[in-house]
Amino acid sequence: MITARRHMVEGVWKRLGLQNEELKAVMAAVPRHLFLDSALGSKAYSDISLPIGAEQTISQPSMVAMMTNALVPRKGDKILEIGTGSGYQTAILAHYTPRLYSVERIPALSKRAQALLEQLGFRNVIYKTGDGSLGWESWAPYDRIIVTAGAPVVSEKLKLQLTDGGRMLIPTGGRESQKLLCVDRIGSTFRETDLGDCRFVPLLGKEGWEK
């Protein structure tokens, strides 16, 4: 598994042309197969998204790498993750922050991810079950926000939970395919940069899609 994981990461870095050695080491250390059903273990280190139940998926490793690299998390950043899902992206982000706040809409997924992450030694994640499209106002503002589900538009609630100088990555567009946007807050203004096409499950909620 370790060899397969390293091979996967090397392949992703080569395809994306990434230079981020710290992120490369983090992804090489996180056992992706543990975040999947054992029946999918043979596919864990392929660069593909896979089902995790409840009509949700674990993102393909190249998307996790690209989004984390574009987020530019810094040591000590206060980070909000919308969509705990399997917990795989959570484990990557937890490396960068003393406190990671993660919101998941589906209780069973949140509970399973929390149990696994605690088993793996992650003690710096605070979990919430609820409507991620609204963010988590009680802990705002955040230096970095990452959204791992596709929204119809950029959530105003989430934008306002960014610090001045903060950054958010969010997929927006249709229910089936989106554009990955990088949103930077500069004072009271927000600059959006299109990072390309992507495909995520829909972000359901008051500032997302209806069920």
Instruction: Tell me the whole-structure pTM to 2 decimals.
Output: 0.96
Residue 1, pLDDT score: 74
CA distance 81 to 51: 19
Residue 123, domain member (yes or no): yes
Number of separate domains in the chain: 1
Taking phi over 0 as left and psi of -120 to 50 as alpha, with beta for the rest, 154 belongs to beta
Give the model's pLDDT for residue 2. Answer: 81
Q: Of 125, 86, 120, whose CA–CA distance to 102 is shortest? A: 125
Report pLDDT for 22. Answer: 96
**Biggest CA pair distance of the chain:** 48
Domain span including residue 81: 62-198
Residue 83 lies in a domain: yes
Whether 209 is in a domain gets the answer no
| Residue 19 domain flag | no
Within a domain: residue 96?
yes
In a domain, 111, yes or no: yes
The reported pLDDT for the residue numbered 41 is 87
The CATH number of the domain where 146 resides is what?
Answer: 3.40.50.150
- The span from the CA of 205 to the CA of 197, in Å, is 22
Residues identified as active-site: 59
Tokens coding 129: 């079950």
Cα separation of 144 and 183, whole Å?
Answer: 10
Mean pLDDT of successive 10-residue stretches along the chain, which has 211 residues: 91 96 97 95 95 95 98 96 98 96 98 98 97 97 98 96 98 96 98 97 96 82
* 155, part of any domain: yes
Is 113 within 8 Å of 194 (Cβ atoms)? no
Concatenating the DSSP letter of every residue in 97-125 gives: -S-EEEEES-HHHHHHHHHHHHHTT---E
Q: Is residue 30 part of a domain?
A: no
